[in-house]
Structure 1
Amino acid sequence: MSADPDALDGFDAFDAFDYLATMVGIGAADGRCLFVNSTLENLIGQSRRTLRRGSVFDWLVDSARLRETLASVVNGEVSCGRFDGVLKRPASLGPAADLPVHVIVSQMDHAERVLIELIEVEQQTRLDREERAHGLAQANKELVRNLAHEIKNPLGGIRGAAQLLAMDVQSKELTEYTQVIIHEADRLQALVDRLLAPHRRPHVVGDVNIHEICERVRSLVMAEYPRGLTVERDYDTSIPEFRGDREQLIQAVLNIAHNATQALAERIAAGDAEIVLRTRVARQVTFGRKRFRLALELHIQDNGPGVPEAIRDRIFHPLVSGRENGSGLGLTLAQTFVQQHQGTIECDSVPGRTVFKLLIPLP
């Protein structure tokens, strides 16, 4: 790398770093931050401009090893130093958001600068998990659709036969039995319709403003829970509109918000329940094995008890629910609707903080 130091002001010499999936920064001998790439900016949760006003030592939970390694590289004692550390993430995401990383500090052609690369320890595991989840979602979708069709046809016959019986029987007791059959057939029909809805509903594609969607969902939730629940907004109003199905996305966000309110039942009764709707732009992100220049991040966060550990890895599977009377379809439908926008949903949950993150590519 033979760039002039002054080129840092325009970052022209380092544009290529923005295409890397790993986090890269450039620091001065005294620890001043001279440059960060888009991946580091995104994962650390602060803008490039803000990071450049600070120090590279602020990136890690424990900066001692970074100070020591940076000094050794700048002084020429070693050309490259490696160690494991923990990247600090936004406090709003909680302590579990801090990210284990492998840190590599290398010499550059300019003696007063060092190249700092941070590699997620869990990166490959996360990518493999995303790929498995996507493949499983596609398989589940086909299974559910086929199963729903197989149930739907005989269900109509059962209901029709029960109606005919109800017309002929004279006994009040037998009539009640036929009404039970009809009622249960209708309930199963409604369940089948919900299973088939994502596949049969036509796409109404138009310009979508994510904050209009958030406000619609917020108004619906606040109307249902006027007391005991606060729905906070934390919006990045610079996020552009994108092409999508507005009604599908409203339903996806509403399903997640409804799940949150149900998990917050005790806190709503106590009067300290909270849901946060947070929007951000992520740059140069990879999900579903695809890389996107820009993506919308919508965080739906609550202060409930968290997703039960027994179902945490299966919450997007159909008919899996943490509630006794839950249908287990809300998150499945939400994931399906978001995937139809080339996006995905991720979940990070610990007691006291659950975050569902919707990722959707932006133009």
Structure 2
Amino acid sequence: MAPLRVLELYSGIGGMHQALKESCTYAEVIAAVDVNTLANEVYKHNFPSTLLWAKTIEGITLKEFDRLSFDMILMSPPCQPFTRLQKLPKYLLLENVKGFESSSARNELLQTLETCGFKYQEFLLSPTCACGFCLQLGIPNSRLRYFLIAKLHQEPFSFQAPGQILTRFPDQDLEDLVKAKVADKVVEASSLSSEEKNLDPNIGPDCSSKKSLPKGAFLFKLETVEEMERKHSQDNDSSIQMLKYFLEDENEEMGLYFLPPKYLLRYAFLLDIVKPTCRRSTCFTKGYGHYVEGTGSVLQTAVDVQLESVFKHIEDLPEEEKLMKLSTLKLRYFTPREIANLHGFPLEFGFPDKVTIKQRYRLLGNSLNVHVVAKLISVLLG
């Protein structure tokens, strides 16, 4: 049997390609397309044998498209380039940012899919998801994204929920509920062994265990009580892995990543600070390492120092003493390799030496989570 022929549009650094490999699908990426020169350098570094077109979608002729004779399109755009094709693909997977689900582009996309005869299902998924079918994930990084899978087939997906955007991967429980027309009901997580969960062996069996915020919890940063409770709840969710399993070993090069004093003084109350034992981190954006506020979590490497003791009454201290206290936390940025780990890129996935740290952050911030997409590919073709 011939391998599935896959076209990767808006290929970036190759997250979709990597996900396809991880899904163990018998497939071949016959071409990748992206106009970003730097991203293309990284793509070629990791997938040197794949045909890579450095051009816009509009710059590809219908003859060029149809000559590829592809079965599947993987892409992350806000548009529908396949509507121009004479020969439609059998399968389609699209990824975009949260918010796309309420856009006019999405409405136009769904209309086009229905006109072309596709059956589709939409999702809003994050790598932290650790319930049912996706219990193997539990990745400590919030990266909520919109996904759509579609197939050119008369039969709908067995788990299809018309008009609904699913917030979890489909499994048998969900399929049964959809068939019973109660798909919005909460589904209990499946009971799996620690090997099946692929999590820390020290994690307990109760994957739904949540603890409330301790009494007298101290609001030491500029956060709402609700946000504090959410973070505390996630840190106590044993179905999510600890950050320490995604970190590099500390070495001399880590000095490059420590926050400079001026950032500590200026942004201390805006930082999302996590320890290696935390089970959460905020979404890393393309501005990480260059901007501080809202671009991703920072790591507290002095694990024995209590945040509360550092931040308590710190606003009343002179600048020198304030800096001294903040410095005891030994805060650093996550390295590009650590972010790549959280995004599911394997250790053999790398960057050309000429790509700077700032550029790596930017490329990773624009990328996707490989594990999430790999599971969706398996669902799409299952």
* Structure 1 or 2: more helix by fraction: 1
Larger radius of gyration: 1
State TM-score, norm by structure 2.
0.21
Which one has more relative contact order, counting CA pairs under 8 Å at least 6 apart?
Answer: 2
